[in-house]
Amino acid sequence: MPDRYNPQVIDHLVRPRNVGELEGASGTGESGDASCGDVARFTVRIAENRVEGVRYKVYGCAACIAAGSALSELVSDASLLDAARVSGVDLEEALGGPLPAGKEHALTLVLDALHKAIEDHWNREAGEMLVEGYGGLRAGTGGKKTVVVATSGGVDSAVTALLMKEAGYEVACVTFRLHDGERGSRSCCSPDTVLFARDTAHRMGLPHFTLNLKELFDRRVMEDFVGSYAEGRTPNPCVSCNAHVKFHAASFLADKLGFERVATGHYARVVEEPEGATMARPVDEAKDQTYVLWPVPRELLARTIFPLGEHRKEEVRRIAEDRGLAVAYTPESQDICFIPDGDYRGFVRKSVAAEPGEIVDREGRALGRHKGVVDFTVGQRRGIGVAAPTPLYVTEVRPKTGQVVVGKKADLETREVRVGGLNWFLPPERAGSVQIRYNGRPVPCEMEHAEGGEVVAHLGAPVFGVAPGQSAVFYDGDKVVGGGVVRRDT
C-alpha cells in the first residue's frame, strides 16, 4: 500500500468536482459520524432513471474529500443503474490506485452516502407504499430478460443473483432495511449486512439498491407479531413479510426500473398449471419454503423466479465457492430477524402490558398463576410453571379471561381445522393434503366450504398442537393449491 496520496487524489483535492448541495434534490444521503470521524453527504437529482445532478460535501480527511469528488464525477449524468453499479474498486481506480493504509474507509463512506441518497429518492417515489404496501403490481414489461433480485447478504440470495446473471438476465439487486438491527450484527437487514450485500453485488458487477421499509415492516409484521401473542394467536412473521413487504417492494422497484421479473433466494419452484402460476416444492425438500410463500399475490407470483428451487443447499454453497463469493460459508439464519437473541417473550413484553392470570385444567380447576398470556402458545410444554405427575401442555390461550388452559398431549389432538384469509392459486377442490407447521408433514385432508369464505379441513390423520394464527397450506402432490390462517379448531 502507498504511504502517500496518488496524483489523482491530489487533483481532486485541488480541483474538487461537484462540491455543494443541490436545491430541490430528489434524494439526500449521509454516512459517517461527526462525533468520532468523517461525514459524507450526497444530494442527487434523478429523472427518468438518470442522475441529472449530484453534489457532495465531506467533513473529514483528505482521502474522504477526494473520494467524494471522484465518486460524484463517476456518477454525474450516468444512468441510475450505472451509478448503482459503481464499486469501491471503480472508485479506487479513479483515484489512481489503492489509498494509503488506514484510509480505505473513505471508499465505503462516500459510496454509502451516495446509496442513501438514491434510497431517499426511491422512498419519495414510493410514497405510501412504504406504509401501506405496494398495490400497483404489473405482470411484466415487455418480455425483456431483466430481473430485480432481493439480496439479504447471505449465500442463497447472492447465488440467486449470480445464476440470473449467468442465465443472461440484466440483474439489479435490492436489499431492504426492515428494522434497526444492531451494528456489527449479521442479522438480516442490520447496517453491516446492507454494506455486505452491496459489496457482494458490486463484486459480481451488479447494481445495488436499498429500500427503507421500516415503517411498513413495523406496521404489517412487527405489530402483527406482538398483537397476535397478545390475542392468544401464534403468528409467523416470515409469512406476514412475504404477504405484505418483500415481494411487493421488489415488484415496486422492478416497475420503476422497467424490469420484467423479480427473484428471491427462496427454495421453491414456480410452475404453470392450466389455471395459472403456482408453486411446487423444491428439489431440496429439506429446504422447502413453499409453506411461508402461500400469501404471495397470484399476479406477482407470475413474474417471480425461484432459481434455487432446482438446486440443493450444498450445490448452492459449491457454486458460491467456485465463483469466489465471500458469502460461500456464511452461517444459516435461524432466528426471527428482528429478534436475533430468540427471546420473543421479552420482545413482546416491551410493547404489551401483560396481566397475570390463572392456569387452569380443561375442567376449569385452577392449577396455578402466570404472569401474562403473551408467554404462552398452544402446544407449549416448557415454562408453564405448574408441577404435575405427567407432562402438561398448553391446549388453549384465553386472552379475554386471562386464562391459560393446560392438559395432556392427547388433548392437543386435532382432526378438523377452520382456515380463513385464504389465497388460492388453484381450485380448492384440487387440495389433497394440508401442512400446518413449517417443519411439519402434510396430512391428507378433505375440504368443506364454510361461512365467510372460509374452509374446514377434515384431516385424514391427527395433528397435535394446532394454534390459531398458524398457516395452513394446501397441496396437490408437490404443488401449492393455496393457503390461509388457522382460525380455530371446529
Between CA 444 and CA 313 the distance in angstroms is: 28
Give catalytic residue positions: 241, 337
Nearest CA-CA partner of 466 in 448, 449, 484: 484
Binding residues: 150-157, 176, 265
Which distant-in-sequence residues (6+ apart) come within 8 Å of 152 by Cβ? 175, 188, 189, 193, 197, 265
Q: What DSSP assignment string belongs to 157-171?
A: HHHHHHHHHHTT-EE
What grid cell was written down for 319? 457454486
Binding residues for ATP: 150-157, 176, 265
pLDDT of residue 138: 59
**Nearest CA-CA partner of 242 in 279, 210, 207, 275:** 279
Direct distance between the N- and C-terminal alpha carbons of the chain, in angstroms, rounded to an integer: 71
Number of other CB atoms surrounding residue 167 within 10 Å:
12
Q: Give the Cα separation of 122 and 210 in Å (integer).
A: 9
For residue 112, the surrounding DSSP H or E stretch is helix 105-126
Q: What is the C-alpha to C-alpha distance for residues 475 and 305, in angstroms, rounded to an integer?
A: 20
DSSP track, 25-38: -SEEEEEE-TTTS-
SS3 338: coil
CA 345 to chain centre: 22
pLDDT of residue 471: 96
Rounded distance, CA 300 to CA 336, Å? Answer: 25
pLDDT tens-digit map of 332-361? 776 678 777 778 788 888 888 788 999 999
Q: Pick from 269, 240, 297, 263: which is nearest to 479 by CA?
A: 269
Q: 280 is written with which cell numbers?
A: 411446487
Extended strands (E) in 379-442: 393-398, 403-407, 413-424, 433-435
On whether the CB atoms of residues 232 and 284 are closer than 8 A, the answer is no
The pLDDT of residue 490: 46
- Residue-level pLDDT at 335: 67
Distance CA 31, CA 33 (A): 7
At residue 36, the pLDDT reads 59
pLDDT for the residue 489: 53
**pLDDT at residue 182 in the model:** 46
Cell of 242: 412475504
In the chain, what are the helix, strand and coil shares in percent, each to the nearest 5? Answer: 35, 25, 40
CB neighbour list of residue 48: distance below 8 Å, 6 or more residues apart: none
Number of helices and strands in the chain (H, E)? 15, 20
List of E strands, 281-408: 304-305, 357-360, 366-370, 393-398, 403-407
Neighbours of 207 (CB within 10 A): 24
What parts of the chain have a pLDDT lower than 70? 1-3, 34-36, 129-143, 181-191, 334-335, 488-490
Confidence at residue 166, expressed as pLDDT on a 0 to 100 scale: 96
| Residue type (1 letter), 188 | C
Give the separation between CA 202 and CA 200, rounded to whole angstroms: 5
Phi-psi region of 366 (alpha: psi -120 to 50; beta: other; left: phi over 0): beta
Q: What is the DSSP pairing of strand 433-435 with strand 413-424?
A: unpaired
What domains can be seen in the chain, in order of their start residue? 7-125 (3.90.1010.10), 129-329 (3.40.50.620), 354-407 (2.30.30.280), 413-489 (2.40.30.10)
